[in-house]
Amino acid sequence: MALRIYNTLTGSADELVPGGIKKEKIGDYPPVTIYSCGPTVYGYAHIGNFRTFVFNDFLRRYLKFRGFRVDHAMNITDVDDKTIAGAVTESISLKEYTERYTAIFQEDLTALNIEPVEHTPKATESIGAMIEIIDLLVKKGYAYAMEGSLYFPVDRFKSYGRLSRLNSREIKSGLRYDTDEYAKDDVRDFVLWKAPKENEIYWDTPVGKGRPGWHIECSAMIRKIFKTTIDIHTGGVDLIFPHHENEIAQSEAAYGEQFVRHWIHVEHLLVNGSKMSKSLGNFYTLRDLLAKGYSARSIRFLLVSAHYRKQFNFTIDGISQADQALERFDNLLIRLKEIKKEGAPNPHVPNLIDSIFADFTGAVDDDLNISRGMGMVFEFIHAVNTMINDEKLTRMDADSIMLALKKIDAVLGFIFSEGSEKPGIDAAWVESMIAERLAARNSKDYGRADAIRRILLEKGIILEDTREDTRWKIRN
């Protein structure tokens, strides 16, 4: 079966064909070239942003699981209205300001077990590439100047609106265009190069003094890194128009070839059923949630497990359910490790492992249907637990199952939580926490009991309640 993913450009679930030419074997394909719109580094990224970043990570991990190689870039927007305003407010340099938030963003990615990608270009380090494409657009008649800024004339690019399927009346009707204080001929036209305002950072370049418009950044970086048509471009659905529409217009007008084969867009994240907003009090950064004691592992579980083309409703209740689901993995790993039985392997185990791989791949190959894939994984866990209950597994079986889980976790990134094994864990402290939890339970304070379990889990300590007492283990 082939991997099919919904393509916003064609409106259908298209087979992924890296390089555009179909090959016999996955190993024969060139690396899948992927570009993901990255963050603007002016503050802490929120949980909605991380839905997209976690999806990007899941996508690249799944491609590797399927045998593809990947070459993935994500940009860092470190110059725009918000970053400039932030640096001015704090009276520090733009570089100092954006470096701080870039580092914070990287820490958040690490906390969520998001793999580093192959390229993370910064806007301020790619000005040359932006000038190159703007210069080509000027030469080909796809740019006009007004009040010192350069604009892209949208009516000259005939297929404008194809990705978003908006006709020009809808685009012109008002609300949906990119608001911009600068004057332009047509409301749809967007800025390529912005004339500097007073006391604002600018670059003195052959296309004039100024700074880049946001859209040009992605087009320029893609050309600089990948040289030609790329396989996959990802982003949130809110970027389809105007950002991605504008990227296509600039790149295809400048280079005269297809820009991107496969456009993949991630749906919105809601919090408690509403769009996240500071005024509704449902606005969470990752850091807010970690400070409340929720683990990045549970948040990753939630974000990975939701199908990318469905709106996802994030709730605190959902995190507790994620904790429970993760506990099933933790308990299974503990049980597998404890198996000592010697002897020949159980002949059913290889079949069980083959079928979880086949079922998982079958589900996820169908437009990355991870919700169904996770269902298969939980069925597998259930089957293994039953075999353990019936004492049908030997040490060798347990090792093969462990290895199979590791392979699946190369995609999921939350079954085994690496780095959580902390050498300096104080056993006396753990015992005192367990005693406190027992006291809380006896006085029916289940909230406190749960909180203690979570605090311990955060430190990589897993509790296992038996009939007699509570045992604890360090997760690995």
Tell me whether residue 113 or residue 234 sits nearer to Zn ion (CB atom). 234
Nearest approach, Cβ of 156 to Zn ion (angstroms)?
Answer: 21
Nearer to Zn ion, 161 or 413 (CB): 161
Least distance (Å) between residue 218 CB and Zn ion? 3
Nearer to Zn ion, 37 or 326 (CB): 37
Closest to Zn ion by CB, 137 vs 218, is: 218
User: In terms of DSSP bridges, do strands 203-205 and 208-212 run parallel, antiparallel, or are they unpaired?
Assistant: antiparallel
Nearer to Zn ion, 192 or 218 (CB): 218
Closer to Zn ion by Cβ: residue 218 or 384: 218
Cα of first residue to Cα of last residue in the chain, in angstroms, is 34
Name the residue type at position 349. Answer: V
Min dist. Cβ of residue 355 to Zn ion (A): 40
Toward Zn ion, which CB reaches closer, 230 or 336? 230
Which residue, 83, 257, 248, is CA-closest to 152?
248
Q: How far is the CB of 277 from Zn ion (least distance, A)?
A: 23
| Minimum gap (Å) between residue 251 Cβ and Zn ion | 11
CB of residue 52 to Zn ion, shortest distance in Å = 11
Nearer to Zn ion, 73 or 353 (CB): 73
- Residue 292: C-alpha distances to residues 106, 287, 288, 455, 459 (Å): 20, 9, 6, 10, 15
Rounded to a whole number of angstroms, the minimum distance from the CB of residue 235 to Zn ion is 6
Judged by beta carbon, residue 40 or residue 305, the one nearer Zn ion is 40
Residues that bind Zn ion (CB under 5 A): 37, 218
To Zn ion, the closest distance from the beta carbon of 123 in angstroms equals 10
Q: How far is the CB of 95 from Zn ion (least distance, A)?
A: 22
